Amino acid sequence: MQLKRFAYLMLIVLFVFSCTSKSKKDTGAKKYPPKISGNTMEVYYPDGSILGKGKITPDKAKNGAWTIYYKGNKGKIKAKGNFKNNKKDGPWVGFYENGKKMFEASYVNNQIHGKQVLYYDTGKKKMEALYKYGKLNGEKITYFPNGKIQSKSSYRDNKLNGPSTTYYKNGISQAEYIYRNNKKEGISKEYYPNGKLKTNSYYSNDKLNGAYYQNWPNGKKKMLGKYRAGKKTGPWKFFHTNGRLKMTGNMIDDKMSGHWKMYYPTGQLESEGSFKNNQQTGIWTYYDKKKLITKKLTLKGAMVSGPCWLYKNGKIIGEFKMTGLPKNPKKNGIGKEFYPNGKIKSMGSYMMNKKTGKFKEYHPNGKLMAEGEYMNGKRNGTWIFYLNDGVTKDNSKSGYYMMGRLNKKLNM
C-alpha cells in the first residue's frame, strides 16, 4: 500500500509537469489555469485548490524548488523537492495529510539515486533501500508497523543478489535464502514463529535440488528426502508429529512410485503395497497393531477393485470380489467365507455387502451344510439343509424361506 501511495504521488508530480507544457488553447479550457509570476508558477486542481507551486525557467521548464499540495486542503503539503530542466533532481520528501513523512528519496536526472525511505502514517519506517540511477543496488529493509524488521535483502541492478531474510513480527527469522540474479541459489532455511527450524533445503537455479528435510513445530522430523530440479525423487520418509515413521517409499518426478510402507503413530506397520503415478495400485496388505494381517485389497487408481482377502486374528476368514474406498470397501461379486481351520464356510455372490443369489454353506468338517438362495442378505425360497455327513437331509431346517424365516417345511 505504501509503495502504491508513493507511485500515486509521483503521478501527481508528473501531472504538474504536463500542466505547464500545455498549449494556450488547452490551458484556456481549464477553469483554473496555471498562474505565472516572474519565475514562479502555481498549478491548480479542478476545484480551484492549489496543486503545486515552484520555480520555472523563462521557457516554463521546472527548475528549482517545488511544493505539491493535497486537493482541497490548501497549505497541506503532499510533497516537495527540486527539479532540474523538468526532471526531478536532488532530495524529495512526501507527507501524509497528518503531516507525517510518507517518503524520502534522492533523484538524479529523474531517477532515484541513493537512499529511499518509506514511512507508515505513524511516522515509523516502512522501507529503506539503496538505488543507483533508478535501480535497486545494495540492501533493502522493510519494517512491520511495530518497528521490527520484516525483511532484509540484497540487490544488484534491480535483481535480488545475495542473502535475503524475512522475519515474523516477534523478530524471529521466518526464512533465509540466497539469491543470484533473482533466483534462489544454495542453502535455504525456514523457521516456525517459535524459532524452531521448519525446513532445510538447497536450491539450484530457483528450484529445489538436493537434500531436503522438514520438521514439525515441536522440532520433530516431518519429512526427509531429495529433490531434483524442483521435484521429489528417490527414497523419502514422512513422520508423525511424535517423530515416529509414518510412511516411506520411492518418489519419481514428485509422484509416489513403487513399494511403500505406512506406519501407526505407535510405530507398528499399518499397511504396505505399491504406488504408480501417486495412486495406490495392486495388492495392498493391512495390519493391526499386533502385527497381524487384517485384510488384503486389490487397488486400482486408489480404489478397491478386484479380489480381496479378510482376516481375523491373522487367519483368513473371507475371499471376496470387492469395490469402493480402501477404508470401507463393499463386497460385490463372488465370495467365500472360511472357518478358523481354513475350510470353506460358505460360497456365493454378494451385492453391496449383502448375500444374493445361489449359495452353498458348509460344516466345519468341509461337508455340505445347506444350499439355496439369498435375497438382500436373507434366505429366500427353497433351502435344503444337511447333517454333518453332508448327505442326510436335516428336515427340521429345510423348507421354504421368506425374508430369512422358515415359512414351510419340506415334505420329505
Here the cell at position 196 is 524452531
> Is the pLDDT score of 212 beyond 70?
yes
**CB contact at 8 A, 293 and 282:** no
Q: What is the pLDDT of residue 27?
A: 44
The three three-digit cell numbers of residue 84, written as one number: 532540474
| 24 pLDDT above the threshold of 70 | no
Summarize pLDDT for 339-350 with one digit per residue, the tens.
Answer: 999 999 999 999
Spatial CA neighbour of 345 closest among 311, 317, 382? 317
Where residue 7 falls among pLDDT bands split at 50, 70, 90? low
Please say if the pLDDT value at position 58 is more than 80: yes
Helical H segments across 250-309, by residue range: none
Which grid cell is 352? 453391496
Q: How far apart are CA 338 and CA 240, in angstroms?
A: 36
Q: What are phi and psi of 179, to 5 degrees?
A: -115, 150
3-state secondary structure of 6: helix
> In 293-353, which ranges are E strands?
293-300, 303-312, 315-324, 330-338, 344-351
What are the pLDDT digits (tens) for 353-364? 999 999 999 999
Would you say residue 23 has pLDDT above 50?
no
Based on the number of CB atoms within 10 Å of its own CB, is 183 exposed (0-12), middle (13-18) or buried (19 or more)? middle
Mean per-residue pLDDT for 387-401?
95
Mean pLDDT of the 371-377 span: 96
Per-residue pLDDT, 358? 97
Give the pLDDT of residue 5: 55
Residue 13: band (very low, low, confident or very high) from pLDDT cuts 50, 70, 90: low
Give 405: exposed, middle or buried? Use CB within 10 Å, 0-12, 13-18, 19+: exposed
Rounded to whole angstroms, the Cα distance separating 126 from 20 reads 34
Residue 411: the pLDDT is 62
Dihedral sign, CA of 30, 31, 37, 40? negative
Rounded to whole angstroms, what are the CA distances from 409 to 361, 394, 404? 19, 10, 14
Averaged pLDDT for residues 173-195:
96
- The one-letter code for the residue type at 127 is M
Q: Could you list the beta-strand ranges (E) of 157-218.
A: 159-167, 173-180, 183-184, 186-191, 197-204, 207-208, 210-215
Residue extents of the structural domains in the chain: 1-101, 350-412
Distances (CA, A) of 322 to 129, 285, 294, 375: 65, 14, 15, 19
Average pLDDT, the chain: 91
Pair 215, 201: CB distance under 8 Å: no
Q: Check pLDDT > 70 for residue 37.
A: yes
pLDDT tens-digit map of 320-344: 999 999 989 999 999 999 999 999 9
Mean pLDDT across 9-33: 52
Asked if 251 and 233 count as a contact pair (C-beta separation under 8 A), the reply is: yes
Task: Supply the pLDDT for residue 34.
Answer: 92
Residue 12 has pLDDT above 90, yes or no: no
Q: How far apart are CA 82 and CA 11, in angstroms?
A: 16
Residue 179 predicted with pLDDT over 50 = yes
| 186: Cβ contacts below 8 Å, ≥ 6 apart | 178, 202, 203
pLDDT exceeds cutoff 50 at 22: no
Cell numbers for 256: 509416489
Per-residue confidence band for 28, with pLDDT thresholds at 50, 70 and 90:
very low
Tell the CATH topology of 350-412: 2.20.110
Averaged pLDDT, 182-197:
96
pTM tops 0.75: yes
Answer for the pair 318, 309: CB distance below 8 angstroms, yes or no: yes
What phi and psi values does residue 19 have, to the nearest 5 degrees?
Answer: -60, -40
Determine how many CB atoms are found less than 10 A away from the CB of residue 273.
Answer: 21
